[in-house]
Amino acid sequence: MEYFLTEEQRMIRDLASRIAEEKIKPVREHYDETEEFPWPILEELAKTDLCGVYIPEEYGGTGGGVFELCLAVEELCKVDGGIALILAATALATFPILLFGNDEQKKKYLPDIVAGKKVAAFALTEPGAGSDASAIQTTAKREGESYILNGTKCFITNGGEAQIYVVITMTDKTKGSRGASAFIVEKNTHGFSFGKKEKKMGIRSSPTRELIFNECKIPKENLLGKEGQGFVIALKTFDASRPGVAAQALGIASGALDDAINYSRERVQFGQSISSFQAIQHLLADMATEVEAARALIYATARMIDKDPKLRVTKEAAMCKLFASDVAMKVTTNAVQVLGGYGYMREYPMEKRMRDAKITQIYEGTNQIMRNEIALALIKEAAKTKK
């Protein structure tokens, strides 16, 4: 389908596609097996200026927005849904700085992210606070010119490899959801350590770790925005980053669909290619329709966010994340089915897509939470318009 991309958007898409084909494809199996962090790929993304595709020019980026980030993430994920997280998960942590950071903070952290020298991670989830984010227990206490952090975060993407962490903590438990604050914590700060690396079903090249704060002292300058803005920052960040997760899901689904179509044309059974059987054709037709619908929804949402930052986009961002991730799970499952036995074999790149797709239904807000948010938004809108 023609989305009338600008020339620069086409350049971004084509460049990301080239990196995916030339640099990621040959090594995707390796990183899935070894679970190493793909630093060489980060270097390629940085050299081609893709790391800064959503970052303003004054900090070294190319001045694009959520749409450009989604284009890049989608292309990379067509080939591998996990390796792209070095860009996408960093973006999740960079949005808080972009949206709420002051000039010093932006100048301090953004250039290194653009140059691929540093990777970032966003830390909200705790063992007792998943969907119920307001139940976080990590605290940050002001002491003179510093804050002291105590607590544990878990399931943090890029944990251990990132140098820059945006951490949501409680600064005032009495204020409830208005008592949280966001801080930037750098790796190697005294009192900040990591737990074990998690073993996951999919996106295995992406490191997932516990963050442990034990009397971790950080300068007061590392507060993002104002005290009490913690959850506001988190929610606004998710509005910008959820299309990115959706793009990840879309890329995974799209890659799966393409491979399934190609395979069905080559595979001959009962004297003909299986693409001539209606059962396969209907599967493919449904898959393709859902993928295209997901794409259209994501692109429209991303364009909305970029065109007018003042618009309320929580509902749409939740919709595209919900829809695209559900599509990805369904499409990858059916794509494995089209490949039959070969789809189940680790030697073929298909099963990995199914393993990778699952997380998109879970992180950055489970799809159940997405439904909650959408419903809430619908009811609110209806209440407003009712005279």
Partner 1 sequence: MGIEILEDKCSGCSLCVKSCPFGLIKIVSREEVGKPHPKYKKIAVIGQGCNLCGACLEPCSFQAILIEREEAKPRPDVSQYKGVWVFAEQKKGEIQGVVYELLGEGRKLADKLGVKLSCVLLGKGMDEGAKELIAYGADRVYQIEGAILRNFQDDPYTDVLTDLVEKEKPEIVLMGATAIGRSFASRVAARLGTGLTADCTELAIDLKTRQLLQTRPAFGGNIMATITTPHNRPQMATVRHKVFKKAVRQGNRNGEVIKENVEGKSLSLRTKLLNMIEDITQTVKLADADIIVSGGRGLGGPENFPIIEELARTLGGAVGASRAAVDAGWIPYSHQVGQTGRTVCPKIYIACGISGAIQHLVGMQSSEIIVAINKDPNAPIFKVATYGIEGDLFQVVPALTKKLKEVLE
Partner 2 sequence: MNFIICIKQVPGTTEVKIDPRTNTLIREGVESIVNPFDTYAIEEGLRLKERMGGKVTVISMGPPQAESALREALSMGCDEAVLLTDPAFAGSDTLATSYTLACGIRKIGEFSLIICGKQAIDGDTAQVGPGIAEKLGIPAVTYVKKIEDISEAHIRVERMMEEGYEVVEMGLPALITVVKEINEPRLPSLKGMMRAKKAKIDIWNASDIACEKERIGQLGSPTIVNKIFTPPPRKGGEIILGDPEEQARKLVEKLRQAKVI
Sites of contact with partner 1 (CB under 8 A): 266, 268, 347-348
Alpha-carbon 351 to chain mean position: 21
**Beta-bridge mates of residue 345:** none
* Partner in contact with 266, chosen from partner 2, partner 1, none, beta carbon below 5 to 8 Å by kind: partner 1
Q: Using CB distances below 5 to 8 A depending on partner kind, what does residue 246 bind out of partner 2, partner 1, none?
A: none
Q: Which of 290, 355, 340 is nearest to 81 (CA)?
A: 355
The token pair at 277 is 């059987």
Residue 117, interface with partner 2 (CB under 8 A)?
Answer: no
- The count of residues interacting with partner 2 (CB under 8 A) is 15
Comparing CB distances to partner 1, the nearer of 18 and 30 is 30
| 336 and 343 Cβ atoms separated by less than 8 Å | yes
364 flagged as catalytic: yes
Number of separate helices (H) and strands (E) present in the chain: 11, 10
Q: Which is nearer to partner 2, 47 or 178 (CB)?
A: 47
Q: How far is Cα 11 from Cα 14, in angstroms, rounded to an integer?
A: 5
Q: Which of 101, 111, 191, 106 is nearest to 146 (CA)?
A: 191
Contact 72, 86 (CB under 8 A): no
- Which residue, 268 or 279, has its beta carbon nearer to partner 1? 268
Binding partner of residue 62 among partner 1, partner 2, none, CB under 5 to 8 Å per kind?
Answer: partner 2
In angstroms, rounded to a whole number, what is the distance separating the alpha carbons of residues 41 and 27?
10
Of 308 and 347, CB closest to partner 1: 347
Closest separation in Å from C-beta 273 to partner 2 = 21
Site for partner 2 in 48-77 (CB under 8 A): 48-50, 53, 62
Should residue 115 be labelled a site residue for partner 2 when binding is judged by CB under 8 A?
Answer: no
Residues 306-325 that bind partner 2 (CB under 8 A): none
Query: Which of the stretches 40-48, 252-260, 291-299, 354-362 binds partner 2 when contact is defined by CB under 8 A?
Result: 40-48
Write the DSSP string, 226-288.
-TT-HHHHHHHHHHHHHHHHHHHHHHHHHHHHHHHHHHHHH-EETTEEGGGSHHHHHHHHHHH
| Piece in contact with partner 2 (CB under 8 A), picked from 12-20, 123-131, 177-185, 331-339 | 12-20
Nearest approach, Cβ of residue 33 and partner 1 (Å): 13
Q: Could you tell which of partner 1, partner 2, none binds residue 322, using a CB distance below 5 to 8 A set by kind?
A: none
Q: Which two tokens stand for residue 219?
A: 């300068």
- Among residues 27 and 300, whose Cβ is nearest to partner 2? 27
Residues 17-36 touching partner 2, rule: CB under 8 A, are: 18-19, 22
- In 3D space, the residue among 111, 125, 120 whose CA is nearest the CA of residue 184 turns out to be 120
Which CB atom, from 15 or from 357, has the smaller least distance to partner 2? 15
CB neighbourhood size of 322 (10 A): 25
Among partner 2, partner 1, none, what does residue 49 contact (CB within 5–8 Å per kind)?
partner 2
Q: Under 8 Å CB-to-CB from 114, ≥6 apart: which residues? A: 46, 49, 51, 52, 55, 59, 60, 61
Q: Which of 126, 316, 351, 364 is catalytic?
A: 364
- What residue 150 binds from partner 1, partner 2, none (CB within 5 to 8 A, per partner kind)? none
* Residue 44 touching partner 2 (CB under 8 A): yes
CB atoms within 10 A of CB 139: 17
Active site residues: 364
Binding site for partner 2 (CB under 8 A): 7-8, 11-12, 15, 18-19, 22, 44, 47-50, 53, 62
